[in-house]
Every structure is written in structure tokens, then in C-alpha cells.
Amino acid sequence: MLSEKTIEIIKSTVPVLETHGVDITKRFYQLLFANHPELLNIFNHENQKKGRQQTALANAVYAAAQHIDHLEQILPVVKQIAHKHRSLGIKPEHYPIVGTNLIAAIKDVLGEAATDEIVQAWTEAYGVIADAFIGVEAELYEQAEQQSGGWSGFRAFRLDKKVKESEIITSFYMVPQDGREIASFIPGQYVSVKLEIPGETYTHIRQYSLSDAPGKPYYRITVKREDDAPNTPAGKVSVYLHEHLQEGDKVLLSAPGGDFTLDVKDERPVVLISGGVGQTPMISMLNELAERWPHRQVTFIHAARNGRYHAMKEHVEKQAESHSQISAYWCYNEPTDQDRELKAFHKEGHIDLPWLQEIVPSKDASFYFCGPVPFMRAVNDALKEWGIPASDIHYEFFGPSGNLDNMPEARETMARA
């Protein structure tokens, strides 16, 4: 338990964290990797370069400071991060290392403003916050290992099949090398893929949503090759998967995890909205609903650049043809002449509220969406404007977590998929 004095000091630093939080976390990662380069085997180097990890950590520290006297209020955030930590292999022994470097970063950035009193208060507070994470993660580790077909750490799989879905998206079907049972999962969850890429000093770990329903003898991930955007460095892992990973090759996977999941207890209609490769968890949810919950009405909405970049279109259309309760709609922002000739899409431009109100049968539904951050921000704003309750809005970030309602970037009414 923290003393009232410590709580008071931590809360007094909230304005400072709001101003200097990202500077502190940037300095933290500099110190962390300089002192412990072995941790580069765990962390996503690309998110470091883009600043996403620093921002996510700054937001988490800020939230913890705000609610230091009632940490249970941020338990959903703790659980979300804990799922990712478990899939990456973060262990209790890592937390003292993080704490030491975080306190050092606070001292470096704040200088004389980081008084002995503030440093001591944050040292105590970090211990409490770390214990909260360690406790939640211990439960997740136990669940992952003890469930039927489960395991701890990373398990060897073999790439059984590789299927090109569009110009930049490919599906990878993976089966366990030992031939034994694999753990089930809830649609929307992901696995971590651990690779040793030739020529790279450190291993690389990436998290990919499972893109098929549970209950299959394989896990499927569907990956976008991240090298098509101008002025953006190519994604080492996605390019390696597309170019070099061949059928029969070994892949290391974590047990499935994640808290962005389909609520199968909710009997109401479901609306699945995706942009680009953000449809991967939606395909898992769609397949699950089609196979096991045929009474629930499903509206599947997908935004893509055009038909050349639209993955799994035929699969979704077949699901809609085979199940009367499923409707599918496509939105292309750069349709080709062939797309227009074939009438391959339903809307040109971007997903917006008037179109959603036109095609979604009822606002009394559960809404799930995933895609690029600007896309998700636009969808979130549209749903809020429509009056959809926060409890019915569910979304997933690919990469470090965030909050669409509190993101500092300027809001956009439309966004590219």
C-alpha cells in the first residue's frame, strides 16, 4: 500500500507527465537498450523507430499516475498490455530492470525538478504498478500452459501452406511440428511469431491476428507485406515472411492471446468493419459466426484501395451467399477501371456515417473494427456521432495500444484504408 503522501506526490506529477511523458519514455528506451541490449530480442524495433512504443508507454505511465490511488480503474489497460507481455515472454525478472531505467530517465529529463522526494515516490509507485502487471501476467502464463493443447514460451510449428490473397497480402497455415493438439482461442486473438532472420543481430517477434475460426488443426495468419508505403522503411518480418519463408520451414509461435475478442454470449447483431489487413481478426470472427452462431445477423464491411489489394473477397462473398444472415459490403477509395466494369464494390471513397446508417440494419448491435489508426479514428468518430454506446464499440490496434478517444493527432473525418 502506498502512503497518502506518496499518492499525493505522484498525482502532483501528472501535469509534468502530460508535458514530458514522451521525452521520458524516449530516454528510458535509450537507457534500457544501452544497458541491456539483450532485450532487443524481445522488443519490436520498427515500433521503436516510429515512436509508437514510446508514446504507448508514456500514455500508460500517465494513466497509472492519474489513478495511482485506484489502480483497479486501469485494470482493462493492464490486462491488454499483460496479454502482449505474455505472448512476448516478458517475465517478473524484467520488471526491476525496467524500473531502474525508468527512474533514471525521469531524473535525466526532469533534472533538478526530479527531487529526492519525487524520485522516492515514483520508485515506490513503480513497485506497486509492477506487482499489478506481474500478478495478471502470472495468471495468463498459467492459462496458456494449462489449457488443452497449450504450452509456455514458444513452440515449433511448420509452415504447411502459403496462399497469396492479394498483391500485398499472403496467408500462412502453420501446424505443430510435434503433431500434437494445439490450443483453441477466441476469434480476434493473436499469436506471436518469433524469427531468426539471417544477417540480423537480434531475433524479431511480431504479433499477428489469427485469421480463421478456432477448432482447426492449424493456425492461420494473414500478413501484409509492409514495403509499399512511400518514405516508410520496409517491415523486416513481413518482407521475410513473404519472400523467404517457404512451405516446410520452421516457425516459432506463442500460445494465442489478446483481449480483442468476439463476445459469443451477446445474441444481438454483429457489425464487423475493417480497413486493409485489419480484416484478419474480422475474418476469424466471421467464420466463427457462420460456423457456430448462424442465428446472429452479421454485417461485414471492408475498405480497401481497390480489387487488387482486396484480400479474401471471394471467401467472404461465399459466406454471405451460403448464410442468409450475413451481408457483405466493399468500399474502394481508388477503384480500377476493372473494378468499375465488374461493379466489384459498393461505395467509392471512404466509409462514413451516412453510408453506415444506410447499410447497417440496426444500431442496436456490437461493433468491431480494425485497420490503420486514421481509419479507426474515423470509424470511431462516426459511431460515436451515431450514438453507439461505448460498451458496444470494440477495436484493436496493430502494434502498441492506444485510445482513439484521447489520441493527440488531429482528427480526420475520412481516412485511407
Tell me the three cell numbers of residue 286: 466471421
207 carries a ligand binding annotation? yes
Q: Which of 316, 363, 309 is nearest to 333 (CA)?
A: 309
Q: Is 137 one of the catalytic residues? A: yes
206 carries a ligand binding annotation? yes
**Complete DSSP assignment for 199-228:** T-SS-EEEEEEB-S-SSSSSEEEEEE-S--
43 carries a ligand binding annotation? no
22 carries a ligand binding annotation? no
Buried b (16+ CB within 10 A) or exposed e, 121-155: bbebbbeebbebbbebbeebbeebeeeeebbeebb
332 carries a ligand binding annotation? no
Q: Is 95 one of the catalytic residues? A: yes
> Do 81 and 207 touch, CB atoms closer than 8 A?
no
398 carries a ligand binding annotation? yes
Determine the Cα–Cα distance for residues 211 and 240; give it in Å rounded to an integer. 19
Sign of CA dihedral 280, 402, 405, 23: negative
Q: Which of 29, 126, 137, 395 is catalytic?
A: 137
Cell 499483460 sits at which residue?
82
256 carries a ligand binding annotation? no
Q: Which of 29, 46, 62, 95 is catalytic?
A: 95
281 carries a ligand binding annotation? yes
85 carries a ligand binding annotation? yes
397 carries a ligand binding annotation? yes
What is the gyration radius of the CA atoms in the chain, in angstroms?
22
Residue stretches of the annotated binding site: 85, 190, 206-209, 276-281, 397-400
For the annotated binding site for FAD, the residues are: 190, 206-209, 397-400
Could you tell me which residues are annotated as the binding site for NADP(+)?
276-281
Q: From the annotation, which residues make up the binding site for heme b?
A: 85
Active site amino acids: 95, 137
